[in-house]
Structures are given as C-alpha cells and as structure tokens.
Structure 1
C-alpha cells in the first residue's frame, strides 16, 4: 500500500512510500482510509522528524476487517477514527474504542475534520466547567480547534470574545456565535471568567492579566512557537485567586467523544470549518500552507475514494 512519510525537507515535508498493509491487533479494526486531516502540530514534527515517525491521527473511511475480539463496527461500516499514528495511508488499524460510526448524511471529508480538533474543543469545555453566562476569551480562534470551541461555547451560553488575525475570519467566527471579535488580545475588554489560551509567547501574559478574580486561564497551545515569560509577582498582584491550568487533550478512549461530535454535526449543531480539500497527491503543498497558517480551519486530504 501507499503511505506518506516525512522527508525532513521543509519545502516538501512528506512524500509517498510503499509499505506493508498493517496487521490489526485483536481490538483493532482495519480501515480503508478515504480522507484524513493533517493538524498544524503535526507539521512542526515534520521539520525534524524523529526516526520512525508515521504521521496521521484524524481519519475517516470504511471498515474492511472487523476487530477479532468482536468489538466495534462490522465490515462495510463507514467510520471516523483517531489512531495514535499512521493515518496518512491507504489503510490504518484503529482501536475500536477510538472509532465512531458515520451516518449517511456526514461525508468522509467532514468526518476527517473532526477528531483531534473536535475532541480538544469538547474536553477543553469540560475542563472549563459550566460556561453559561460566563465571559470567555479565546485566543488563536481561527484554527480548527477555535472554530469548534466558538460554536460549542456559544451554544452553551458563554459570552465569547474571539481573537483572530483578520476581519474575514472574524466575521466567520461571529457567524458561529462569538459575541465580540478582536484582532489583538490587548484589545479584548475584560475581565473574563475563563481564558482559553492557545498562542503562548507574548499573548499569554496579556491574556492572563484580563482574568476576573477567581478566574481560570487554561493553556492548551503554543501556536506562536515563542517561549512564554511570566512575572509571577505581577500575577500575584493581579486577579485574586486566579488559576492557571495546563491542558492536553490526550486520553483514550476517544469513541464516545467522536460519537458526540458526529451527533452534533448530523443534527446541524456543529459545523466543521474546512478551508482546503485536496487529493493526497498534493499533500506537500497543503502541509506547507497549513504550517504557514494560510488555511482557515481544517485541511482535508482525500485518497480518491472519499464521498
């Protein structure tokens, strides 16, 4: 079968290679991949790939071999999955606890845009707690996670201020429910009960200073790729009893969260923001554009069998 592997070349980060079809473990189903979505964080790993790196965590496709232990979907079932790796290929083995069945009304392209970004958004909101009536600040809002967070938080009753680079992206976020759009975190008018911070660098201390007393900043990304410097004397002199929490979405099983995302999309309550769809022969170009933030929302690559 064919798969994409890292090259170490920033101009062409991935190329096709021949590989054996994976042999699933007893609790894994073999999926014929129809569409997959690279994530911007994966593009950073491609810059200096570690030996043995086989990217690919967001896939949608068809079960061609059911799990030997009897768990999970049967042969011929359309699914979305979140494997630990290996999804940029014609076939991938996925634990059945990290799969969800797709209804006919959701395409493989839509589904592939869901896993990492959607699961991250769901779990971030659970970490934030009840946000109904809360003032929430979201930085880096125009990425895949940001779109899902905006729509989910607004639906939950939050008064959301979204930070995004351009007016066009801001208008899209406003359409998803953001109450206020700003293009620089310094322009956000606090105080905020919750800050969801994904850019790091110089933005995090500015966002932190906008917390209300007893508020929480949840740090879930480093999109700026710039180290953060915090003056804790300023923090201690700032919002009383404020909290900084680090967040990472990882923690299988993922199937329940995937099923929740599928249900929300199918009912029209969540709308994947897909900025680019291309055949996987164009993977190198798409990966560069994703890394350089030239794609709004998610990018999805198809293997020629997507519908």
Structure 2
C-alpha cells in the first residue's frame, strides 16, 4: 500500500512510499482511509522528523477489519478516527477507543476535520468551566481549534473576543458571533477567561486583559517564540489570576469524537474547511498550512474517497 513519509525537506515535507499493510493489535480496527486532515503542529514536526515517523492523526474512512477483541465498530462502518500516528496512508490501524461511527448525514470531509482540533476545543472549554454570560478572549483564533472554540463558546452563551492576524481570517469568526480584533492590545477587557495559543509577547499581553481572579489557559505557542513573564510586572496587573497549562491528549477519544459527530449532525458545529484536495497534493498543502495560507482545516482525499 502507499503511505506518505517525511522527507525532511521544507519545500516538500512528505513523499509516497510503498509499505506493507499494517497489522492491527487485538484492540484496533483496520481502516481504509478515505480522507485525512493534517494539523499545523504536525508541519513543525516534519521539519526534523524522527526516524521511522509515520505522521497522521485525523482520519475518516471505512472499517475493513474489526478489532479482534470484539470492541468498537464492525466491518463496513463509516468512522472518524484519531490514531496516534500513521493516518496519511491507504490503510491505518486505530484503537477502538479512538473511533466513532458516522451517520450518513456527516460526510467524510467534515468528519476528517474533527478529531484533534475538535477534541482540543471540547476539552479546552471543559477546562474553562461554565461559560454562560462570561467574557472570553481567544488568541490565534483563525485555525481549526479557534473556529470550534468560538462556535461552541458562543453557543454556550459566552461573549467571545477572537484575535486574528487579518480581517479576512476573522470573517467567519465574526459570522459565528465573535467580536474580532487583530491584535491582543485591541481587545477590550477585562475577561473572565483567556484562552491563549500564540505564546511569545502575546501571552503577557493577554494575561493583562484578565479580570482579578480570572483564568488564563495556555494551550499552544503558534508563534514558536518562547514566553517571558516578568514577576514584578505581574504584580501590577490583575490580582490572583490563575495560569493553567493545557494539553488535549489522553485517551479514550471515542466519547469526544461521538459528541463532535452529534454536534455536526444536529447543525450545532460547522467545521471550517479551507481546502479539499487529492492526497497527491499533500506536500504543497502542508507548506501552505505551515505558512498560514489556509483558513481553518485542510482535508486530503485518497483514491478510496466516496
């Protein structure tokens, strides 16, 4: 079968290779991949790939071999999955605790756009707590996570201010109900909750917008610039602010995937897919994703896509 493997080249991060079809463990299903969605964080890992790396964490496709232990969906079930690796291939093995069945009303493209960004958004908002009537500041808002967080938070009754680099990247966020600004300094605080994903100088700026006793959840560093916090400057800012580190990972993923699928099916969550292309264009798509030339998610279709 064909698999995309890292090349270590910035201009062409992946290339096709012929490899054996993977063999599932007892608690894994074999999935014929129909679509996959790379994440911007994965593009950074491709710059200096570890030996034997098999990228790919967000997929949708068809179960062609059910798990031997009897868990999970049966043969022929359309699914969305979140494997630890190996999703950019014709076939992938996925633990059944990281699979959810798809109804006919949820197409493969939207399903593939859900896993990492959607699970992150759900778990991030759970970390933030009840949002009804609360003011939320979201930085780095125009990526896949940002669109999901914005729609879900507004739907939960929050007043969301989203920070995006350009007006174009903020158009859909505004349509979802967010107030859009293009630099953290322009956000009109104070905010009950700050969701910070940019790092660098934006984190201390965002922190200064929190209310006394507020919460800042740090869930990314998209700028790739380390954060410096001045303790004495903090003393002059809002008092008793909590800074909480967040990472989305932690199985099982199946319940959250099922929740995301239900939200899409019910019309309460609308994946923002900025590009759909054949997987022969994966290398170019990864470069464009890394350079922020794609708004929202990119989805690549294999030959087996329906």
- TM-score under structure 2 normalisation? 0.99
Residues 229-286 of structure 1 deviation map (CA, whole Å, 9 limit, x = unaligned): 1101111332111100000000000000000000000010000000001101001100
Aligned to 2:121: 121
Aligned to 1:54: 54
Shift of 1:227: 1.0
Residues 84-136 of structure 1 deviation map (CA, whole Å, 9 limit, x = unaligned): 00000000000101100000011111100000000000000000000111100
Aligned to 1:93: 93
> For the aligned residues, what is the CA RMSD?
0.7
Aligned to 1:36: 36
1:169 aligns with 2:176: no
Distance 1:92 1:301 in 2: 15
**The residue matched to 2:133 in structure 1 has which SS?**
coil
**The residue matched to 1:63 in structure 2 has which SS?**
strand
Distance 1:236 1:95 in 2: 47
Aligned to 2:244: 245
Distance 1:49 1:232 in 2: 36
Shift of 1:305: 2.1
Aligned to 2:81: 81
Aligned to 2:283: 284
1:258 aligns with 2:257: yes
Contact 1:8 1:49 in 2 (8 A): yes
Unaligned runs of 5+ in 1: none
Contact 1:4 1:88 in 2 (8 A): yes
Matches within 5 A, 1:146-185: 146-178=146-178, 180-185=179-184
Distance 1:280 1:236 in 2: 51
Distance 1:67 1:122 in 2: 27
Distance 2:58 2:287 in 1: 18
Aligned to 1:217: 216
Aligned to 2:194: 195
Aligned to 1:23: 23
Residues 140-180 of structure 1 deviation map (CA, whole Å, 9 limit, x = unaligned): 000000000000000000000000112122221011121x1
Distance 1:256 1:177 in 2: 27
Shift of 1:304: 2.0
**The residue matched to 2:215 in structure 1 has which SS?**
strand
Contact 1:109 1:306 in 2 (8 A): no
Residues 173-221 of structure 1 deviation map (CA, whole Å, 9 limit, x = unaligned): 011121x110001100100000000000110110001110100000000
**The residue matched to 2:13 in structure 1 has which SS?**
strand
Shift of 1:50: 1.0
**The residue matched to 1:12 in structure 2 has which SS?**
coil
Unaligned runs of 5+ in 2: none
Structure 1 consecutive aligned stretches of length 4 or more whose deviation exceeds 6 Å: none
Distance 2:304 2:154 in 1: 35
Matches within 5 A, 1:133-148: 133-148=133-148
Distance 2:300 2:274 in 1: 11
Distance 1:21 1:257 in 2: 28
